[in-house]
Structure 1
């Protein structure tokens, strides 16, 4: 699979999900107006995710990670997320990552949030500093266990990838700080 088709696949999946979420919201509004009854399910769905942009001297890193969770009760939530990333170090490498994750959140106390996230990524790395260039394409599975301080819609904490493998060139460390926001 070449890089252009990987990008096109990621964009197709990402845009399909965005249009699905938008059409679902529109349909929900129409049904609500017609029946004048609230759907308990949609009252408990929260949306969030992450967006990252890093630019430097011959370096670019762009991340998009939308997600949605269902708040089962005041203690437990579960949901799904999508991830897309592009990283380029000029004259060294290009990297495209895209995938999905399953997310669970547990609040034993209102201020404490524990999390588990199973993530499956397709990784397409091209090392351009070599002649000929080297392409390294593979699937990577990560299982993040985390803990954070939770205040209203925001959680700040740290998570640990129990399946971390340094040789995969996906994540530089097993421990990662995070900021999680759901509305």
Structure 2
């Protein structure tokens, strides 16, 4: 009987020590997971662009939030959303929205090189006037547009000012009026 009781106590002791050791191990994994998550979010930066322009019968609104993951001081990769609305009363109206993926490289802290792929859904409506019969037709042009931008800019404290070039530029797609585009990009 004493041997059975002693065996039960020893078995219970091993069982409890195993549970305690396992729960401590789970606590360490939990801390590791939390520290990994904190490390990840410490390297995520948010930003984007905002543009507003209004005039007599004219409106241009652009909203482009984005986020990047900063691997180190030189490399970052991210994604963003884009929304554009343009209206020239009585002539033209355009709504475009989509997503982009961007890669950033800083060979030195002040210089930022970028490569960006953008996919937009474009919905254009424009008025066509016929002078010989004084008639106006409303035309629609809806399509997908892909752009690949290569850019360079001067960077300081999360703000970059530069120029980018659309290597897929097509003058007939009515999205961008030229291949070269200035930009202002910020991340905090």
Q: What TM-score range do you get, normalising by the shorter chain?
A: 0.7 to 0.9
The yes-or-no answer on 1:141 pairing with 2:140 is no
Distance in 2 between the 1:96 and 1:37 partners? 40
Name the SS for the 2:172 alignment partner: helix
Shift of 1:129: 3.9
Q: CA deviation at 1:93?
A: 1.1
Residues 126-155 of structure 1 show CA distances to partners (whole Å, capped at 9, x for unaligned) of 013453311000000000000001111111
| 8 Å CA contact retained: 1:93, 1:129 | no
CA distance in 2, matches of 1:125, 1:137: 6
CA distance in 1, matches of 2:150, 2:37: 35
Could you say which structure has the larger radius of gyration?
2
SS of the residue 2:137 aligns to:
coil
Q: Would the aligned equivalents of 1:150 and 1:156 in 2 still touch at CA under 8 Å?
A: yes
Stretches of structure 1 that go unaligned for 5 or more consecutive residues are 1-30
Instruction: Single out whichever of 124-133 and 72-81 deviates more from structure 2.
Output: 124-133
User: What is the TM-score when the length of structure 2 is the normalising length?
Assistant: 0.76
Pair 1:59–1:79, CA change in 2 (3 A): same
Structure 2 partner of 1:81: 80
TM-score by length of 1: 0.78
Unaligned runs of 5+ in 2: 1-29, 130-135
Q: How does 1:114-133 map to 2 (within 5 A)?
A: 114-130=113-129, 131-133=136-138
- What is the alpha-carbon distance in structure 2 between the residues aligned to residue 150 and residue 91 of structure 1? 40
Is residue 91–residue 129 contact of structure 1 (8 Å, CA) maintained in 2? no
User: How many Å separate the matches in 2 of 1:141 and 1:171?
Assistant: 11
Give the total of aligned pairs: 151
Q: How does 1:15-30 map to 2 (within 5 A)?
A: none
Measured on the aligned residues, the alpha-carbon RMSD in Å equals 1.7
Change (3 A) 1:37 1:97: closer
Aligned to 1:24: none
